[in-house]
Amino acid sequence: MKRRGAIRAVLVGVMALGIGGCVTVEAPDKPIVIELNINITQEVIYRLAEDAGDTIEENSDIF
């Protein structure tokens, strides 16, 4: 019974593909740029500012 159900499901899937045709994916002509900085909120920046300022002063040789 189970196997018959599975076969039916596969057949339905194949039929659906036949009706729907091919799915085409076109590559964009422009490069995809992921802007990570855009998710950083001003609230977080203000919270971290004092700590970051101390860090810069404590490691002045690399800043």
Partner 1 sequence: MLKNWKPTKTILAAAAAITAITGFTGAAYAMRDPAYAAARANGQVGEKMDGYIGIVGAETADLRRIVNDINIQRRAVYAEKAQAANATLEEYAFTAGCLLISRTTTGEMYQAYNGGWKKRDANAPDRDPRCP
Binding site for partner 1 (CB under 8 A): 36-37, 40-42, 44-49, 51-53, 55-56, 58-63
Q: How far is the CB of 38 from partner 1 (least distance, A)?
A: 10
Nearer to partner 1, 18 or 31 (CB): 31
What string of DSSP letters covers 9-54?
HHHHHHHHHHHH-----PPPSSPP---GGGG--HHHHHHHHHHHHH
Nearer to partner 1, 1 or 38 (CB): 38
Q: How far is the CB of 42 from partner 1 (least distance, A)?
A: 4
- Can you tell me which residue has the tokens 């422009």? 30
Tokens, residue 62: 């690399």
